Amino acid sequence: MNWRRRVKGFARRFGVDIVRFHPETSASAQVLAVLRHLGIDLVLDVGANTGQYGHSLRQAGYRGRIVSFEPLSSAHAALQRNTAGDVRWTIHPRCAIGDRDSEITINIAGNGVSSSVLPMLERHADAAPESRYVGSEIVPMARLDSAVATYLPDARGVYLKIDTQGFEAPVLAGAAEMLLRCRAVQLELSLVPLYEGQQLWQHFLGEFAAKGFELWALLPGFVDVDSGRTLQTDAIFVRP
C-alpha cells in the first residue's frame, strides 16, 4: 500500500490523479456498468464533437453499436476520420438535433466543445475563457424522431446521450417517440445559467420523472476551478 500512496503522491505533483477503473471511482466505469446492467446494444451520441464520448466507451470496454450526431463541419470531418476503423460506429450525416427539421445557426466556441445554438453567458466564459465564441455556422437541423428511424429496428437496448450545451430541451422535444424506445438517457445538466434561455436541472428532473424515468447516477462535470463550484454535471436517467 505504501508504494501505491507514493506513486499517487508523485503523480499529483503534476496535476494527475490515479484511480481504479471501478464504478465508485471512474465515470467511464460507471457508465459501462449501466450499459451492461441494462443490456444496451445501441448508443445514440448526440453532440459528438470529434468522438470523445464514443472513444471513452470503447476504452471502457463497450463493443456495441454507436451512432454519433455532430453539426459543425470541422468537428464532423474529424469525427469521421477518428472513427474510420470502427465498423460498429456510424456517423450520421452532418446535422444539429432539435425540435424541427430546418436550419439553425450554431456559435463556434474557441475550445470546440462549448459550441452552442444559444448565446453564451459571461459566467461560462469567465470560468473557461478558451470557450468564448470565435465564429458561427449555419447547419441543417433534424428531429431525433426522424433522424434515428433506420438505426432502431435491430436494437434491443437503446441509450441516448445528449451533450448540446444548453439546447437539451429542444432536442428532447423532437424525440418524444424515440424516448419510448430508450432504456436510459445521459443528459448534461446545468446547475447555474451558462447559456441564455437554457433550462436548468430542476426542469429536467421533473420532465424525466413525468416520462417514467428515475434519476440513476450523477457524473463529474464542468467545475469553476477558482471557486470549486460545479456548473454542469451529467445525469443518467433510467426507465425501470
Q: 117 near 167, Cβ under 8 Å?
A: yes
Mean pLDDT of 77-102: 97
Enter the C-alpha cell of residue 182.
430508450
Segment 181-204, tens digit of pLDDT: 999 999 999 999 999 999 999 999
DSSP letters, 45-112, are: EES-TTTHHHHHHHHHT--SEEEEE--SHHHHHHHHHHTTT-TTEEEPPS-EEESSSEEEEEEEETTS
The confidence score (pLDDT) of residue 7 equals 46
Residue 14 is given by DSSP the state T
Positive or negative, the Cα torsion across 101, 103, 107, 111? positive
Enter the C-alpha cell of residue 209.
420523472
Q: 85 near 53, Cβ under 8 Å?
A: no
pTM for this entry:
0.90
> In the chain, what are the domain boundaries?
20-238
The domain 20-238 belongs to what CATH superfamily? Answer: Vaccinia Virus protein VP39 (3.40.50.150)
On the question of pLDDT at 17 being above 90, the answer is: no
Residue 195 is given by DSSP the state B
Q: How far apart are CA 107 and CA 109, in angstroms?
A: 6
The confidence score (pLDDT) of residue 24 equals 83
